[in-house]
Structure 1
Amino acid sequence: MLDSLRKAAGTWVAKLLLLLLVGSFAVWGISGQLVTGMGGNSVIVAGGTEVSATDYRLAYDRQLSVMSQQFGTRITRDQATALGIDNQVLAQLVAGAVLDEQARKLGLGVSRDRVAALTVEDPAFQGPDGRFDRNQFDYVLRQVGMRPEDYLTNREQVAVRQQIVEAVSDGLTAPDAFFRALALYEGEDRTVDFVVLPSSLVEPIEDPSADVLAKWFEDRKANYGAPEYRKISYVKLEPEDIADESAITDDQVAKDYEASKARYTTAETRRIEQLVFASEEAAQAAADSLKAGSTFDQVVAAEGKSMGDVQMGALTKDKVPDPAVAEAAFKLQANEVSPIIKGSFGPMLVRVTEITPETVKSLDDVKTEIRKALALAEANRILLDVHDSYEDARAGGDSLQDAATKLNLKVTTIDAIDRTAQRPDGTIVDDIPESAALLAAAFESEANVENDPINIGSNGFVFFEVEGITPARERMLDEVREKVVADWKVAEVAARLGAKATELEKRLKDGATLDTIAAELKLEKQTKRGLKRQADDADFGRTGVAAAFGVPEKGVGLTPAPTDGGQILFQVSEVFEPAGADASTLPEQTRTSLSQGLADDLLDQLVARLQAEYDVEVDQGAIQRALSF
């Protein structure tokens, strides 16, 4: 639970709850004497320190609120019990009680001024200016259902407990020797020699005898049972299912065409070149050169530019970024050069090298498309009316087939399908609308009853009915003999290959070399260098890497190949420690986490020792009474 609270501690409410409920320590188990029916209003007694039923209920409700936020829904009492929230709260309160008792014995305390200072310093209560805000303080406490006086009392308890906690764990870090050992462990790499033993070493496998197959099948009969099948009929209702193109008149099509002609128009495009000059004088000199017989290409070259520098591409008028260029370019003939234009970047000359005229699709070209679109639009408009008409027909006693026929809807029937959308022959029915939801509902339904429709997106429905149920049953061997034989052979290959691999592993351990074994089997000995402990290696996989790091240098092992069902026989030939491994090579987050874990272990031991010393008593009856009000 502490982990959940820590994850939730990004919000100020959760931070406050974490502070008040558990302070800085972990969740401990409960030891000591368990007393039922102690009497009075105390849930926990630890020496001279008591925890009241009211305190237990407040802690329980706050923890329930935190967990509800984590799950995104209000947790019920039964769910809380299943999650162990009652025991978690009790463990926290016991830990707090024994620390309070130890503080009482030691005479520890904290002044009200210090409590006030701690409250003012709490970021949860600070306003936008970074200073304590009384309105924020009141708001936060209302959110967790706590009175200011209760907060201050609890804050004082936490401050006192913190004195004990800090005495045990403040500044505690794991030793450098531990960090170095971890750095050596994580940074180590290995060189591994290996031979992949393929299944072909033991194949082909002969068919099993009748007795062997029968016994193998009998031991695994449940794997070959026939699942429950259902016969399902359904009616899909989407706009395309009721669109009636024949109801759209030629006049409607023509009117839509005229109203939407721009949609069918491809604007004129022109391939434009523009040459920008540094001054009006330079532009005029170029224009004069053109009049004297120079070509546009020569003028471009004279300006020290290539033809690629002046290309704008093929553009429609509205896509030309400079309005002055657009206006001029769309008045030119092909290969005509414009007069000097005052463009956005200075004086320029423009040439159009290619003109693609505007085209407009004719009504005949697009009438089929328009008719379909109009029919779909009308279908969208009346879809809910058709839905209601179908429901009315069913309510009036019509069958699914009859209701669908009246509305010109198609009925689709699947004679037999299981929960995974497979037919009895193993093929998949892959064209069912909303397949997962429909099958889940169909397998919850009784036969021959009307069901609520399944939604298709935001504008569609599937009406369905279960017309028959074929219960699950055991199959006889003759029904699945071919599959059983195939499965037996797969298992037999694995068993025989495993036995052979074990035999080869023993030979390797007894002194044979991988080179010798590979040569005998006509296989290749391979070498994997730089293998890291946490690698997901393509040849070994994670399991194989773990096996390779599970033996010492020169150690031998076997591991399943990650693909193809083979076995890998390997030997670790070299082990390399990382150079310069020490605490500094570990991430700071890792070092902090390990040190915190060490501190938590010490606190665990402290609380366990205090629980034994102060003979903790827990009244389960008081707990039940606390939860009942």
Structure 2
Amino acid sequence: MRAPPRRGASLRSHPPPTPIPCWLSRVECLKPGDVFQRGRHFMATKVSRIFVWIIMGMVLVGLVGFGSFNFGGSATSIGKVGDTEIDANRYFRELRAEMQAFEAQYGQNLTFAQAKMFGLDQAVLDRVIAQAAFENETGRLGLSVGDAEIARQIKEIEAFQGVDGKFDREMYDFALQQSGLTVAEFEASLRADVARTILQGAVSSGIAVPAVYTDTLFAWARETRDFTWARVDASVLDTPVGLPDDETLQAFYDENPELFTTPEIRKITYAWAAPEDMIDRIEVSDEELRALYDQRIEEFVVPERRLVERLVFGSDTEAQAAADRLAAGDASFEDLVAERDLDLSDIDLGDVTEDELGAAGPEVFALSEPGIVGPVETSLGPALIRMNAILAARETSFEEASEELKGDYAADAARRLVDDLVPTLDDDLAGGATIEDLAGNHGLRLQTIDWTPGSDEGIAAYDSFRAAAAAVTEDDYPEVIELSDGGVFALRLDEVVAPRLQPLDEVRDEAIAAWQAAETRRQVLARAEAMLDEIEGGETPASLGLTEVIETAMSRDAFIDGTPPALMRTVFEMAPDGWQVVSGDEGAFLVHLDAVNAPDQEAAEARAIKANFSQQISQQMALDLQSAFAAELENRAGITLDQGVINAVNANFP
């Protein structure tokens, strides 16, 4: 056993959520618990009660769902915190659960090497160490849970209940037997987890976020402004900018060498196998195309559909009353939706087939034009259904689809040919073949490119080529690299041409144009500044020949086409009254702040958002307190880890 390096609390700290973008976009995305992931973040307002319920579920899933595992040898612990063992099976179960949650979220299998790259193994290790630290402290304090409480909680776990909803001893014994656990082991684990949770709740319960905190943030995020702006461009100048004399041009050239310096040029030779180059080699039979057509039949044979909205009611009586109001003209469909505190988007089913509507299908599909039917029975209860459009059935025959199918088949087969070619190309390069040899022996394109960071045509449009071109050195051996469309390439750096400041005589025309643009901007900005004095003297932008544009209720993230980002920043930094100048790439803008509009802090939406945000901040603070407390417990008790056992556990993952 060896003591690991001290891990600070920051390893388990969680940065506070960032609510402002949600408020700016006016999307209520801060729902309770959104900021936390995968079960470990379970603090809520009534901390101790919810802790107990969640612990029950975690113990059941962790112990019964996964069971115990034999990692070989006699070791059952990956280490200790103080006198408390860190169970190897706990680490194994939590790591597997974390990997499975990751796989479910992203829809792909995860190897242990990938999990390690993402830091999942270390995160789980930190977590089980923190759990052991709390359990070690509960033991030191003599904190425990009585048999009666453990029995009550076990009886409330659904997996241990029979069809009558009551605790079933046979199901309890069978579930534990299947998991390889004894009753004593399971109940001891549950007792320790509940005791630990009580201590965690004591550490972090009672946390509240001051109302002034959420009010201030909400006010800042949802504040809007009314303002007036006017563009100032070259049309305000008495005379256009002319040509610079030689001395002026030389000075401009000397002051802006970056404008006239060529970028580094990397001369590269490459061999490229693109899927489209392989298409001529593909042969496809009618049988293969027919099979592909049948496989994708849903694309080519689309039944008639309807665009519908479904408004569900709690009872037949409510649904009939709503239908009667519609028939009498006392309410519109939109009124009924609003009365239920819903938006049309909440009830929109999109385009559906008759079968997808179930029992309501025949009545909806009997409509020959948009309308409302109901009450009708649906899987969610009685409902009114509004049909908004008829989408006719569409059928594309095999003959009509054959050209598309041939193209898709050929493209897929071509990518497979390229894939099959990769091992051969790798072997050739390993055997000393050159880029020219690859092209000559396998029919690849052999091309060269003078590549710069701004190159974006041909193969330089691919991210992987640009990355390889930027990183390759003259000493590197070529390797086969994949492209996003299934193609592959190998490249060689032949020469690096260093950046070069071009003589003024070579770029005189470009230098003149650049000077004229810069001088125009300077004069326009100077004229805009002068206009401020004239406006203070009684003029207005309109009287000075400018077009005034009035904006109202603009939020911080608003964008006005044709204006620089600095315009909105200035608007939210300036005080009402008075005009200011904002510089732009092609001129300047005059801007005047007309009004500051504070949000309604007492609106239903505002109260809901602030409540959710306050709850999340409270949860975050509670977690941070727990992390800090756990770190202190670990420091005080000391940690030892057995890396050999940890490695043995990790070896059980593919």
With the length of structure 1 as denominator, give the TM-score of the two structures: 0.50
| Aligned-pair CA distance for 1:158 | 3.5
Partner of residue 572, structure 2: 549
Name the CA shift for 1:410/1:581 in 2 (closer, same or farther; >3 Å).
closer
Aligned to 2:594: 573
Matches within 5 A, 1:53-452: 54=86, 62=94, 66=98, 70=102, 72=110, 74=112, 85=123, 96=134, 110-118=145-153, 121=156, 134=172, 148=186, 151-161=189-199, 163-164=201-202, 168-169=206-207, 175=211, 188-198=223-233, 201=236, 204=241, 207=244, 209=248, 212-218=251-257, 220=258, 224-234=261-271, 236=273, 243=280, 409=443, 411-414=445-448, 416-418=449-451, 420=453, 422=455, 429-430=457-458, 432=459, 435-438=462-465, 440-441=467-468, 444=472, 451-452=479-480
Matched residue SS, 1:551: coil
Contact 2:266 2:451 in 1 (8 A): yes
Q: Give yes or no for contact 1:454–1:462 (8 Å, CA) kept in 2.
A: yes
Offset of residue 137 of structure 1: 6.9
Alpha-carbon distance in 2 for matches of 1:575, 1:113: 61
1:275: which partner in 2? none
Alignment deviations for residues 436-474 of structure 1 (CA, whole Å, 9 cap, x no partner)? 44555566475896643757966xx65655372234444
Alpha-carbon distance in structure 2 between the residues aligned to 1:56 and 1:226: 57
Say if 1:57 and 1:626, in contact at 8 Å, map to a contact too.
no
Give 1:582 deviation, angstroms: 0.8
Once the two structures are superposed, residues 116-136 of structure 1 have per-residue CA deviations (whole angstroms, 9 ceiling, x without a partner) of 444554679889998887599
* AA aligned opposite 1:466: R
Q: Distance in 2 between matches of 1:628 and 1:482?
A: 69
Return the offset for 1:112: 3.6
Is the alpha carbon distance of 1:474 and 1:539 closer, same or farther for their aligned partners in structure 2, counting shifts above 3 Å? closer
The alpha-carbon distance between structure 1 residues 396 and 80, as it changes in their structure 2 partners (threshold 3 A), is: closer
Letter of the structure 1 residue corresponding to residue 447 of structure 2? T
Q: Distance in 2 between matches of 1:567 and 1:384?
A: 54
Does the CA contact (< 8 Å) of 2:232 and 2:588 recur in 1? yes
Partner Cα distance (1:492, 1:435) in 2: 38
Q: Does 1:527 align with 2:550?
A: yes
What corresponds to 1:597 in structure 2?
617
Instruction: Work out the CA distance in 1 between the residues paired with 2:269 and 2:615.
Output: 61
- Tell me if the contact between 1:110 and 1:159 (Cα under 8 Å) persists in the aligned partners: no
Distance 2:433 2:592 in 1: 75
1:271 counterpart residue number = none
Cα distance in 1, alignment partners of residues 519 and 121 from structure 2 = 44
- Listed as ranges, the gaps of 5+ residues in structure 2 are 1-11, 18-30, 52-77, 291-398, 648-654
Residue 38 of structure 2 corresponds to which residue in structure 1?
14
Q: Which runs of 5+ in 1 are unaligned?
A: 26-40, 45-49, 249-254, 261-359, 361-368, 423-427
Cα RMSD between the aligned structures? 6.5
**Secondary structure of the residue that 2:268 maps to in structure 1?**
strand
Q: Distance in 2 between matches of 1:200 and 1:83?
A: 64
- Taking the aligned partners of 1:618 and 1:238, their CA distance within structure 2 comes to 62
Q: Is the 8 A contact 1:179 1:586 kept in 2?
A: no
CA 90–241 in structure 1, closer or farther in 2 if over 3 Å, else same = closer
Partner Cα separation in structure 2 for residue 168 and residue 382 of structure 1? 61
Q: CA deviation at 1:229?
A: 1.7
For residue 573 of structure 2, give the secondary structure of its aligned residue in structure 1. coil
CA deviation vs aligned residue, 1:173-194 (integer Å, no higher than 9, x gap) = 765x777777766665443222
Question: Residue 146 of structure 2 aligns to which amino acid in structure 1?
Answer: S
Indicate conservation of the 8 Å contact 1:95/1:607, yes or no.
no
How big is each residue's C-alpha offset from its partner over 1:194-242, in whole Å with a ceiling of 9 and x where there is no partner? 2222355576375473553354245x48x93532422324364768668
Verify the 8 A CA contact 1:194 1:527 in the aligned structure 2: yes
Partner AA of 2:613 in structure 1 = S
Please name the residue that 1:468 is paired with: 494
> In structure 2, what is the Cα distance between the partners aligned to 1:388 and 1:179?
58
What is aligned with 2:372?
Answer: none
- 1:466-545 counterparts in 2 under 5 A? 466=492, 468-478=494-504, 483=510, 486=513, 490=517, 501=528, 511-512=536-537, 515-516=539-540, 518-520=542-544, 522-538=545-561, 544-545=567-568
Q: More displaced, 597-606 or 82-91? A: 82-91
1: CA distance between counterparts of 2:561 and 2:604?
31
CA distance in 2, matches of 1:617, 1:440: 45
Counterpart of 2:606 in structure 1: which amino acid? L
CA distance in 2, matches of 1:76, 1:627: 20
Structure 2 counterpart of 1:574, which letter?
A: A
Instruction: Name the CA shift for 1:2/1:503 in 2 (closer, same or farther; >3 Å).
Output: farther
Amino acid at match of 1:584: A
Contact 1:239–1:380 (CA under 8 A) maintained in structure 2: yes
Taking structure 2 as the reference length, what is the TM-score of the superposition?
A: 0.49
- On the 8 A contact 2:482/2:488 being kept in 1, the answer is yes
Superimposed CA distance per residue, residues 134-192 of structure 1 (whole angstroms, 9 cap, x where no aligned partner):
5997699899xxx73674244223332255257524xx5765x7777777666654432
Distance in 2 of aligned mates of 1:152 and 1:549: 55
Secondary structure of the 1:212 match is: helix
Contact 2:227–2:591 (CA under 8 A) maintained in structure 1: yes
Paired with 1:151 and 1:503, the residues of 2 have a C-alpha distance of 78
AA partner of residue 527 (structure 1) = I
> Alignment partner for residue 606 of structure 2, among 559, 568, 586?
586
- Whether contact under 8 Å (1:197, 1:569) holds in the other structure is yes
Shift of 1:420: 4.8
User: SS of the counterpart of 1:526?
Assistant: strand
C-alpha deviation, 1:597, in angstroms: 1.8
- Is residue 227–residue 471 contact of structure 1 (8 Å, CA) maintained in 2? yes
Check 1:89–1:51 CA distance in 2 against 1; reply closer, same or farther (3 A cut). farther
Q: Secondary structure at the match of 1:519?
A: coil
Query: In structure 2, how many angstroms separate the alpha carbons of the residues matched to 1:575 and 1:541?
Result: 21
SS at 1:591's partner residue?
helix
1:41-92 deviations in whole A, cap 9, x for unaligned?
A: 9987xxxxx5757379967994797379548553689857899959975995
8 Å Cα contact 2:230/2:548 also seen in 1 = yes
One-letter code of the match for 2:86? T
**Residues 161/406 of structure 1: CA separation in 2 closer, same or farther (3 Å cut):** closer
